[in-house]
Amino acid sequence: MTASVDAALDRLRRQDAAVPTADATLTIAEMAERTGVSAHTLRYYERIGLFTVARDAAGYRLYRAGDYARVVFLNRMRMAGMSIRDLQRYIALVEEGESTVPQRRELMLAHREAIRAQIQELVFALETVEFKIAAYGGSPEP
């Protein structure tokens, strides 16, 4: 595997291992550290309505387990190429309640197809690169 793939997988493993307990709270710095999403991005997601964060008496953000799960979900959808607009639509549907499950499913089905198409394109590109490596006398596998 390449270093970037290894780094992405490592980040996903850390996210899964860093889930806060149900009653724990995290600061923005702790949330950024655990999720790999910058504090700037966390504030941006909050500003555009992707989630709402509780505040303490001094006004500091307090992230809870549900916020953590939402950030991990958002991060993974962004990694998979979902647009901010589609994320906003999805989150708006979530906040409308259970009656929107069919629309959410449709949004996820459409995104799954986009990911599958992207995977096919990447496989084709990889095959092309491997062909060229072999043409230059190298082995396609490291």
Interval 94-133: pLDDT, tens: 999 999 999 999 999 999 999 999 999 999 999 999 999 9
Domains and CATH numbers, the chain: 3-79 (1.10.1660.10)
Q: How far is CA 89 from CA 8, 13, 43, 48, 131, in A?
A: 26, 28, 19, 11, 41
Q: What is the pTM of this model?
A: 0.76
Q: Answer for the pair 72, 13: CB distance below 8 angstroms, yes or no.
A: no
Helix (H) or strand (E) holding 55: strand 54-55
Chain segment 70-80, per-residue pLDDT in tens: 999 999 999 99
pLDDT of residue 9: 58
Angle between helices 3-17 and 28-35 (to 10 degrees): 130
Mean pLDDT (the chain, rounded): 89
Which pLDDT score, from 0 to 100, does residue 14 have?
59
- Look up residue 16 and give its amino acid: D
Comparing CA positions, the residue from 73, 65, 78, 79 lying closest to residue 18 is 65
pLDDT value, residue 11: 60
Give the residue-averaged pLDDT of 61-78.
94
pLDDT at position 10 is 64
Residues β-bridged to residue 55: 61
Mean pLDDT of 12-19: 60
**pLDDT attached to residue 139:** 76
